[in-house]
Amino acid sequence: MKAGHKSGFVNIVGNPNVGKSTLMNKLVGDKVSIITSKAQTTRHRIMGIVNTPEMQIVYSDTPGVLKPQYKLQDSMLGFSRSALGDADILLYVTDTVESGEKNEEFLAEVRKVECPVFVLINKADLSDPAGLEQMVKDWQERLPQAEVVPLSALHGVGVQYIMDRIRELLPESPPYFEKDAFTDRPARFFVTEIIREKILLYYQKEIPYSCEVVVESFKESDDLIRINAVIYVERDSQKGIIIGHKGAALKKMASKARADIERFFEKKVFLEVFVKVESDWRNRENILRSFGYRQ
Ligand code: GDP
Ligand code: MG
Ligand code: K
């Protein structure tokens, strides 16, 4: 490790639609997660990583969903406390249009956090200066330990300031992830997100929540992207459901996913999706690590 190298986790939390994904994409400088007005798209802890010779910043735009036992669905709906635990810097995003929906329970948790906390009042472009000033005051009262910053992620206003503050506050540490290994991660994460979205769309009940999607290979040539993905499930019965009668269900889901992936990369895509049983994947630390949840 170089002397003075900095690295840490910057966790972005906040209600749906306040602009977390938009902000993260600005911070990371690449399109890592799906921007959508549908709240459920990013149930996952999607990481974007910024590497420089002196620094590695690890962003996640949704809370870690694994710590509160299996409450994946709950954490999709709003805040998740588990994101607070492992943050070096917490970005709590709200916006100028979010009405009265202050989650008191969550705020109480944020007050206990020991790392630097920012309240980012996004969509400043939609408010008049006086209104904005009042919101800053209100948030400062609610969370006295936080630095309250109005910004507009969409228009890139105030984002540079946040980046500078993150660089200042990031702890000294060797990098958490191989610096070179992550160059194609945003593309892989995007593919993972699309497949997950299709699973949510095409399978019922608990199936989506027992799945983990891993892109095992992503090979891009001039006119084609070849992708191998694996859907890990916990039981044979779930595997059967995912695959469906004569493979029909999997085929349908994969072809919808492929169409979206082609649209995103504007390239022909050859997508192979396999289903594997990895019993109890949620509890097995080494598997989580290989999925990228933990390092
Ligand atoms: P998330 O659910 O918190 O991840 O929110 P998204 O990043 O998906 O953004 C939700 C919506 O808010 C999208 O339509 C964005 O374009 C929009 N949005 C994000 N940031 C801003 C902003 O600074 N100003 C305005 N006017 N809209 C924004
Ligand atoms: Mg989002
Ligand atoms: K999803």
* Cα 270 to ligand 1 centroid, rounded to whole Å: 32
For 264, residues 6+ apart whose C-beta sits below 8 A from its C-beta are 190, 194
Residue-level pLDDT at 263 = 81
> In the chain, pLDDT over 70 holds for what percent of residues?
73
| pTM flag (> 0.95) | no
- Give the number of the ligand closest to the Cα of residue 124: 1
Sign of CA dihedral 125, 130, 131, 136: positive
Q: How far apart are CA 28 and CA 59, in angstroms?
A: 8
Using CB distances shorter than 6 Å, the residues near ligand 1 are 14, 16-22, 35-37, 122-123, 125-126, 152-155
Cα angle: 197, vertex 20, 190; to 5 degrees: 35
Structure tokens at 139: 């948030």
Q: Whose CA is nearest to atom 17 of ligand 1?
A: 19
Q: Whose CA is nearest to atom 14 of ligand 1?
A: 37
Strand 212-220 relative to strand 224-233: parallel, antiparallel, unpaired? Answer: antiparallel
Q: Angle, to 10 degrees, between the axis of helix 248-265 and the axis of helix 236-243? A: 70
CA 18 to ligand 1: nearest atom:
3
Residue-level pLDDT at 200 = 85
Q: Give the end-to-end CA distance of the chain in Å, rounded to a whole number.
A: 17
Mean residue pLDDT across the chain: 78
280 alpha carbon, distance to own chain's centre: 23
Q: How far apart are CA 29 and CA 37, in angstroms?
A: 20
Residue-level pLDDT at 285 = 55
216 alpha carbon, distance to own chain's centre: 19
CA 93 to ligand 1: nearest atom:
3
User: What pairs with residue 6 in β-bridges?
Assistant: 55, 172
Structure tokens at 180: 């070179």
Structure-token match 């996913």, residue found: 257
Q: How far apart are CA 72 and CA 61, in angstroms?
A: 15
SS3 15: coil
Q: How far apart are CA 17 and CA 202, in angstroms?
A: 24
Residue-level pLDDT at 113 = 84
For 134, residues 6+ apart whose C-beta sits below 8 A from its C-beta are none
DSSP class of residue 55 equals E
Q: Given ligand 1 and candidates 12, 13, 17, which is best to mutate, with the most ligand atoms within 8 Å of its CB? A: 17
- Give the number of the ligand closest to the Cα of residue 76: 3
Query: Is residue 94 within 8 Å of residue 15, measured between CB atoms?
Result: yes
Per-residue pLDDT in tens (0 to 9) along the chain, 295 residues: 556 899 888 888 887 788 887 888 788 775 444 333 333 333 345 457 787 888 888 887 554 322 333 333 343 333 344 456 568 899 999 999 975 456 677 788 788 888 999 999 999 999 999 999 999 999 999 999 999 999 999 999 999 999 999 999 999 998 876 665 444 456 777 788 889 888 888 898 778 878 888 888 888 888 899 999 999 998 899 999 999 999 999 999 999 999 988 887 778 999 999 999 987 666 655 555 555 443 3
Q: Whose CA is nearest to atom 15 of ligand 1?
A: 19
CA 23 to ligand 1: nearest atom:
7
Burial of 211 (0-12, 13-18, 19+ CB in 10 A): buried
CA 25 to ligand 1: nearest atom:
7
Q: How far apart are CA 127 and CA 55, in angstroms?
A: 35
* Cα 33 to ligand 3 centroid, rounded to whole Å: 10
Strand 147-150 relative to strand 117-122: parallel, antiparallel, unpaired? Answer: parallel
Q: How far apart are CA 86 and CA 279, in angstroms?
A: 26
Give the phi and the psi of residue 160 in degrees, each rounded to 5. -60, -40
Q: Whose CA is nearest to atom 10 of ligand 1?
A: 17
Q: Angle, to 10 degrees, between the axis of helix 185-202 and the axis of helix 248-265? A: 140
CA 155 to ligand 1: nearest atom:
23
- Give the number of the ligand closest to the Cα of residue 257: 3
Q: Given ligand 1 and candidates 24, 32, 154, 157, which is best to mutate, with the most ligand atoms within 8 Å of its CB? A: 154
* Cα 197 to ligand 3 centroid, rounded to whole Å: 4
What are the start-end ranges of the H helices in 120-273?
A: 129-142, 159-169, 185-202, 236-243, 248-265
